[in-house]
Structure 1
Amino acid sequence: MSVKVACVGGGPAGLYLSILLKLQDPSHDVTVYERNPEGSTYGWGVTYWRGLLDRLHEHDPESARAVEEHSVRWRDGVAHVDGESARHRGDEGFGIGRHRLLEILAARARALGVRLEFDLEVDAADPPPADLVVAADGVGSALRTRHAGHFGTEVRAGRNPYAWLGTTKVFDAFTFAFTETDHGWIWAYGYGFGPEGSTCVVECTPGTWTGLGLDGADEAEALTVLEKVFADVLDGHPLTGRSAARAGGSWQTFRTLTNRTWHRDNLVLLGDAAHTTHYSIGAGTTLALEDAMALSAALRERATLPEALAHYERERREALLPVQSAARLSAQWYENLPRYIGLPPEHMFALLGQRHSPLLPYVPPRLYHRLDRAAGRLEALRRLKRWLGPRIARTVQARSLAARD
């Protein structure tokens, strides 16, 4: 049966959902509404891994081929710690420019007959008439905010300030850089997304942020400071920002967003409007696209809209548990950087790769490293860590809900 769908938000989640719905049934009437002009998206590059690419090929080979063709890939990770470096071979990772990804998805959606309405702000009080309204309008979703009481929205602010920047330096590996200043440690994550440059996310403690004067600096001043701090890693390349004029304009603290429920009547949440996970695990775009896959499948397989939305929510909540656990532990690892920074670079890099472990916060780092080297090949230990992660996430979620009630 043909349905009319209004998707509010023209990011990866909204565009990919519109593609999948049209592939399921070309008679579906699908419109994507995006408040910003076409091509004006903010952001340099996004990361993803082989597993997502395989799933993209399963769902729509044509757009998957285009995404893969315009992506860069790496297998190495490198950590720079105050002049010393360590390099590890890891799983294959990919980077693609956010502008390019959206261009690919928008072109594919148009070719399938999706209507794309750019530069159009949807009134949350009066959304477009449709059988299904999809709130894919990001962490600040106006549609979700209007019904925040129903959705049970909760936002927790992280401790460390961070800035999402770009650089013309093209990193050949996923790069971590840790630099000690007179005011404490500051670090960056860098990854290439094409021949034009890389994404560079900078993070530090609040004390370092204020000590370096970044809280009162405008963007140009902040970039000058950071280019000096990371000069060795950048090799003389500049950093670029959002051109925000106000002091501290590029900086924010990460907001972990959860919702008690993801749907209300014919309105459903998708991507960052439903959930966020800390940027240090590089999963935001992947999770948004997987949401779209799950929602489109539920709409195809379930007899009624309420059944489909309930099934989508259950499936995605379960799938998110280990990811949310990993994200929480990863953020905590960086917030407790002094616990690990004194280790030799090779050992620190090994624990950086283990930062998702629920055991690591409770075992002395040097001991954990020795135990991990000795027992890391044992499947029993791996199974224990995989088993603990989702259960800790469920416990945290249950305590949070109990505290609110």
Structure 2
Amino acid sequence: MKVVCVGGGPAGLYFSILMRRQDPRHDVTVLERDPAGSTYGWGVTYWGGLLDRLHAHDPASARAVRDASVRWSGGVAHIRGTTTARPGDEGFGIGRHRLLDVLAHRARELGVRLVHSHEVTPADGPPDADLVVAADGVHSALRAHHADHFGTEIETGRNTYAWLGTTKTFATFTFAFAETPHGWVWCYAYPYGPDGSTCVVECPPEAWRGLGLDRVSDPEGLRLLEELFAGPLDGHRLIGGPQGEGGARWRSFRTLTNRTWHRDNLVLLGDAAHTTHYSVGAGTTLALEDAMALAGALRTAPSLPTALARYERERTAALLPLRSAARYSARWYENLPRYARLDPAQMFALLGQRHSPLLPYVPPQLYYRLDRAAHGLEPLRRFKRWLGPRLARTLEATRAR
């Protein structure tokens, strides 16, 4: 099969690796619009189960990803002068640039052709291939050209956020909340290597405008945020661009969905197909799992149309619980004042419960007590898991009417 993958991010590169491993006779090319060595963002995060799945599909790249990652467990929250720690699952961070280097090296090793500074636009016509994979991100030009067919919908979140780096190397996943006269501002930070961490800053639009973050210069905006989070940053800088240039680029998160993921021999992969709110930390994991599912469907299905339909069914079903979790996670932060007056330990506990569909409809202190009571009682935990989605659907249907 001749395959052209448009987009050289984690999804496109890993898919190309899997296709060559499945059959070295596949002719696989990755076309990336940016120059070699350039990327956006700082580090990405993932959780332990992904490494097992990577190892099952390609042990060589899995080992390289593991060796280039830093790991932590649990988390820390800073609020109102207190620091609260909670145990939790093991997490991993890796620089986005390093991840792409690992995957690109492995792809070349297997015979994939990587072509940089090559932008594919609808005006060029479709690439000449048996299969064209649109892995060109949330702003996918290939998807946008057939937006009516794909049924693309975009929902923009209320809060604004900036994706920053810092020279502070955090020991674990860290949350920090700062109250200002204009509302709350908060950040999530995690290490991705020995020299730095990713730091995502978020706030409601009224705080963003009230603090002047919508109009101050880039250096002034970064200095203001450094003052707000001076304690957790411990004197370290915030950095607005991957190479140290630029300021905070503020935006609102766009949740993207598509009614279908394929058209003839064109198929969507990763952020071109779907996005989930960054607060659940699943974007890179989902992109890599998309690649696994698509390669698997192509290996076992009797025809290309059957394979693409199978891939779409598998991944849309797998995404349902994560979409729900991401929606409720984003809502938790959009309603932060509801939780910010709790005792810090209680607030941090409910931060860990932010994916629950029941939480928005129960007074926070009551939910905390119920959750504590259910901790050692399996029947009560099962009842809570059963009640949450049903209550949420009922209340949301009532509100819609």
Q: TM-score range by the shorter chain?
A: over 0.9
The match for 2:36 among 19, 35, 38 is: 38
Q: Distance in 2 between matches of 1:174 and 1:384?
A: 31
- In structure 1, what is the equivalent of residue 236 of structure 2? 237
Supply the AA of the counterpart residue of 2:159.
N
Which residue number corresponds to residue 219 of structure 1?
218
Partners of 2:367 and 2:303 in 1: CA distance: 50
Letter in 2 for 1:21: M
Q: 1:283 to 1:395 in 2, by over 3 A?
A: farther
2: CA distance between counterparts of 1:29 and 1:11? Answer: 19
In the TM superposition, residue 39 of structure 1 has moved relative to its aligned partner by: 1.0
Secondary structure of 1:315's counterpart equals helix
What is the identity percentage for the equivalent residue pairs of Structure 1 and Structure 2? 71
Q: Distance in 2 between matches of 1:381 and 1:325?
A: 22
**1:8: how far off?**
0.3
Looking at structure 1, the residues matched to 304 and 393 of structure 2 have their Cα atoms a distance apart, in angstroms, of 27
2:22 is the counterpart of 1:9: no
Give the letter for the 2:162 counterpart.
A
Aligned CA distance change for structure 1 residues 394 and 27 (closer, same or farther; 3 Å) = farther
Q: Which residue of 1 aligns with 2:249?
A: 250
Match of 1:79 among 77, 80, 100: 77
Change (3 A) 1:154 1:389: farther
Aligned to 1:267: 266
Paired position in structure 2 for 1:165 = 164
Equivalent residues of 2:41, 2:242 under 8 A apart: no
Aligned residue number for residue 106 of structure 2: 108
1:243 deviates by 8.3
Per-residue CA distance 1:50-70 (angstroms, 9 max, x = gap):
110110011001000000011
Query: 1:96-121, CA deviations, whole angstroms, 9 ceiling, x for partnerless residues?
Result: 00000000000000000000001111
The equivalent residue for 1:174 is 173
The answer for the alignment partner of 1:290 in structure 2 is 289
* Conserved? CA contact 2:204–2:334, under 8 Å: yes
Q: 117-126 or 274-283: which moved more?
A: 117-126
Q: How does 1:295-334 map to 2 (within 5 A)?
A: 295-334=294-333
> How far apart in 2 are the matches of 1:56 and 1:46?
16
2:153 alignment counterpart: 154
| Structure 2 alignment gaps of length 5 or more | none
Where does the alignment leave 5 or more consecutive residues of structure 1 unmatched? Answer: none
Equivalents in 1 of 2:384, 2:8: separation in Å? 37
Distance in 1, matches of 2:295 and 2:81, equals 49
1:106-145 counterparts in 2 under 5 A?
A: 106-125=104-123, 126-145=125-144
- How far off its partner does 1:183 sit? 1.1
Query: Quick check: 2:33–2:117 contact (8 Å CA) kept in 1?
Result: yes
Cα deviation, 1:271-308, whole Å, max 9, x if unaligned, reads 00000000000000000000000000000010000000
2:247 and 2:392 map into 1 onto residues whose CA distance is 33
Counterpart CA distance in 2 for 1:51 and 1:129 is 37
Asked if the contact 1:215–1:248 (Cα under 8 Å) also holds between the matched residues in 2, the reply is no
Secondary structure of the corresponding residue to residue 251 of structure 1: coil
**Residue number in structure 1 paired with 2:198:** 199
Mean CA deviation greater in 344-353 or 378-387: 378-387
Q: Kindly provide the amino acid, as one letter, of the partner of residue 373 in structure 2.
A: A
1:47-58 equivalent positions in 2, closer than 5 A: 47-58=45-56
- Contact (CA 8 Å) 1:321, 1:390: kept in 2 or not? no
Question: Equivalents in 1 of 2:99, 2:262: separation in Å?
Answer: 27
Instruction: Report the residue type matching 1:225 in the other structure.
Output: L
Q: Give the direction of change, closer, same or farther, for the CA distance of 1:96–1:90 in structure 2 (3 Å limit).
A: same
> Which letter maps to 1:179?
A
Deviations 1:310-351 (A, max 9, x none): 000000000000000000000000000000000011000000
For residue 171 of structure 1, give the secondary structure of its aligned residue in structure 2: coil
Aligned counterparts, 1:385-404, within 5 A: none
Letter in 1 for 2:62: A
SS at 1:7's partner residue?
strand
Residue-pair matches, total: 398
1:379 shift after superposition: 3.0
Distance 1:207 1:248 in 2: 20
Question: Could you tell me which residue of structure 2 aligns to residue 344 of structure 1?
Answer: 343
TM-score (norm. length: structure 1): 0.94
Secondary structure of the corresponding residue to residue 136 of structure 2: coil
Detail structure 1 runs of 4+ shifted over 6 Å in the superposition.
388-399
Q: Cα 1:174–1:292, aligned 2, differ >3 Å: closer, same or farther?
A: same
- Matching residue of 1:357: 356
Q: Is the contact between residue 95 and residue 193 of structure 2 (CA under 8 Å) also seen in structure 1?
A: yes
Shift of residue 76 of structure 1? 2.2
Whichever residue aligns with residue 361 of structure 1, its letter is: P
DSSP-derived class of the 1:193 partner = strand
Please, what is the CA RMSD of the aligned residues? Answer: 2.4
Distance 1:228 1:368 in 2: 34
Q: Which residue identity is paired with 1:370?
A: R
Give the aligned residue type for 2:349: A
Mapped to 1, the partners of 2:206 and 2:132 lie a distance apart of 43
Instruction: Give the Å deviation of 1:83.
Output: 1.1
